[in-house]
Amino acid sequence: MKKIILSLLIAVLALSLAACGSQSSGSSKSGSSALDQIKKKGVLTVGTEGTYAPYTYHDNKTNDLVGFDVDVIRAVGQRLGVKVQFKESVWDSLFAGLNAKRFDTIANDVAVTPDRLKKYDFSSVYSTSESVIVTRANNNKTKTLNDLKGVKVAQSLTSNFGEETKKAGAVIVGEDDLSKALKLVSQGRADALVNDQGAVLQYFNTTKDNSLKIAAVVPTDTANVAFPVLKGSGLDKAFTKELQALKKDGTLKKISEKYFGKDISK
């Protein structure tokens, strides 16, 4: 009787171990199939602001979502053989959306920073971005980041621009939308802001606002821009492969010149 019970226990244990092995194998396969899941759905979901020209914004005539980052991620999606679906949100909630898996990546001039590298994997760098300090046209005091100490600066609270002005000792006036932040400076409700040169030039070209000026370029703050993804998803490698192909065939250069008049791709 004891031998029968022992035999049954061994059989049950063997079946249990086999099941665990099967589940473990399935989990491993599932864990490495983020790209497979996207291809199966046929959709790459992308978080973006839609208010940050010339990177991601709505065309005044058609209201279509356009921009440098929009075109680049669409080109990546095309090479992957999937449609790209955008979900628009304010900057401060984009990474929360990525964490919650509401989208697969973010296309929004995202700079690669040491803090972000701890939390996310990144594709290869596809562009570079210089920071500039914007003030009212009659402001001749602000020429470097150090001059922002104690000064009211309109910034997004969680952007790398916000972080660098905070380190400089600026008083942050929270505003996610660049055009609204620039209006705060123009109206005298803030004294300055730091942001991407391309985005600022786009605003000047569109609005013809001569009450503001680029007071200085921040030469030490050239940001590398890439697509962030959840750690371990493998999407960084998939995106990198397609970005390298787009660089090689001249597509990145073409998109860059369309929005900036020069090649900022990397």
**Domain ranges in the chain?**
34-126+226-260, 130-222
Cβ atoms < 10 Å from Cβ of 96: 12
What is the reported pLDDT for 205? 79
- With 0-12 CB in 10 A as exposed, 13-18 as middle and 19+ as buried, what is 105? buried
The whole-angstrom separation of Cα 164 and Cα 218 is 11
What is the reported pLDDT for 37? 95
Q: Which CATH number fits domain 34-126+226-260: 3.30.70.580, 3.40.190.10, 3.40.50.720, 3.10.180.10?
A: 3.40.190.10
Q: Print the SS3 string covering 161-216.
A: HHHHHHHCCCEEEECCCHHHHHHHHHCCCCCEEEEEHHHHHHHHHHHCCCCEEEEE
Tokens read off for 166 = 């905070």
Bridge pairing between strands 212-225 and 152-155: unpaired
What is the reported pLDDT for 21? 39
In one-letter notation, the amino acid at residue 103 is F
Quote the pTM value.
Answer: 0.72
- Angle between helix axes 68-80 and 235-248 (nearest 10 degrees) is 100
What is the reported pLDDT for 74? 98
What is the reported pLDDT for 108? 96
| 185 close to 193: Cβ distance less than 8 angstroms | yes
pLDDT digits (tens, 9 = 90+) for 187-216: 999 999 999 888 898 888 788 899 999 999
Tokens read off for 127 = 């562009």
What is the reported pLDDT for 201? 86
Tokens read off for 206 = 């569109």
Residues 6+ apart with CB under 8 A from 261: none
130-222 matches 34-126+226-260 in CATH topology: yes
What is the reported pLDDT for 220? 63
Q: Print the SS3 string covering the chain.
A: CHHHHHHHHHHHHHHHHHHHHHHHHHHHHHHCCHHHHHHHHCEEEEEECCCECCCEEECCCCCCEECHHHHHHHHHHHHHCCEEEEEECCHHHHHHHHHCCCCCEECCCCECCHHHHHHEEECCCCEEEEEEEEEECCCCCCCCHHHHCCCEEEECCCCHHHHHHHHCCCEEEECCCHHHHHHHHHCCCCCEEEEEHHHHHHHHHHHCCCCEEEEEEEEEEEEEECCEEECCCCHHHHHHHHHHHHHHCCHHHHHHHHHHCCCCEC
Mean pLDDT of the chain: 87
Residue-by-residue pLDDT tens, the chain, 266 positions: 433 333 433 343 343 433 443 333 333 343 458 999 999 999 999 999 999 999 999 999 999 999 999 999 999 999 999 999 999 999 989 999 999 999 999 999 999 999 999 999 999 999 988 889 999 999 999 999 999 999 999 998 878 888 889 999 999 999 989 999 999 999 999 999 999 888 898 888 788 899 999 999 887 667 899 999 999 999 999 999 999 999 999 999 999 999 887 888 87
Q: Which CATH number fits domain 130-222: 3.90.870.40, 2.160.10.10, 3.40.190.10, 3.40.50.620?
A: 3.40.190.10
Measured torsion, CA atoms of residues 80, 123, 177, 159, in degrees rounded to the nearest 10: 160
Place of tokens 């200085």: 216
Bridge pairing between strands 105-106 and 171-174: unpaired
